[in-house]
Amino acid sequence: MERSLIILKPDALQRGLMGPILTRLEARGLKFIGLKLMQVSDELARKHYGVHEGKPFFAGLVSYITSAPVLVVAIEGKDVISIIRNTVGATNPAQAAPGTIRGDFGVNIGRNLIHASDSPENGAQEVSLFFNDSELLAYDRSIDQWVTE
Ligand code: IDP
Ligand code: MG
């Protein structure tokens, strides 16, 4: 079982794209275990994007992610890291394949709509950075037998 942290970034909310983006993840068969609207603080943004500190786009990235509310989503399941990264598409929407979220909804690397964890280790860590245990739900879905063999 892997966990992935998804962030629908401020541009996704401001452009009214929460529904269309969530629909793609949900229709794929992915299981949401936590979901909330929040305003990311400067401190949380710097922690979450700590690996990018020192890069030329870091200051812009922190101000982008803290500029307006975001929707954070925790997803759990087998192979969810690679499944979601493939659904999200390349970092730069200008180069992302059609059919991916970034390839269908974005044009610019600085406004690429969505974050998705890039490894099982980072997924587990990022989910616990954004969610308390009490905000993550364990439940069964009757459709699971039709989603996974
Ligand atoms: P990812 O989101 O596809 O994992 P990363 O390389 O981890 O991409 O970069 C994190 C975020 O930093 C990107 O999603 C994007 O918002 C921003 N970013 C990355 N490279 C650039 C850039 O060259 N210019 C502006 N923003 C960038
Ligand atoms: Mg990344």
Q: What is the per-residue DSSP string for 60-126?
A: HHHHHHTSS-EEEEEEEETTHHHHHHHHH--SSTTTSPTTSHHHHH---GGG--EEE-SSHHHHHHH
| 49-69: average pLDDT | 98
Share of residues in the chain with pLDDT > 90 (%) = 100
Share of residues in the chain with pLDDT > 70 (%) = 100
Q: For the chain, how many structural domains are there in total? A: 1
Which one of the ligands is nearest to 101 CA? 1
Task: Answer whether residue 11 is part of any domain.
Answer: yes
Task: Answer whether residue 117 is part of any domain.
Answer: yes
CATH of the domain at 32: 3.30.70.141
Task: Answer whether residue 145 is part of any domain.
Answer: no
For the CA of 91, the closest atom of ligand 1 is 3
Task: Answer whether residue 37 is part of any domain.
Answer: yes
**Threshold 0.95, pTM exceeds:** yes
Tell how far the Cα of 64 is from the centroid of ligand 1, in angstroms: 11
Domain that holds residue 74: 2-135
Task: Answer whether residue 92 is part of any domain.
Answer: yes
| 44-65: average pLDDT | 98
pLDDT, tens digit, 9 for 90 and up, residues 74-125: 999 999 999 999 999 999 999 999 999 999 999 999 999 999 999 999 999 9
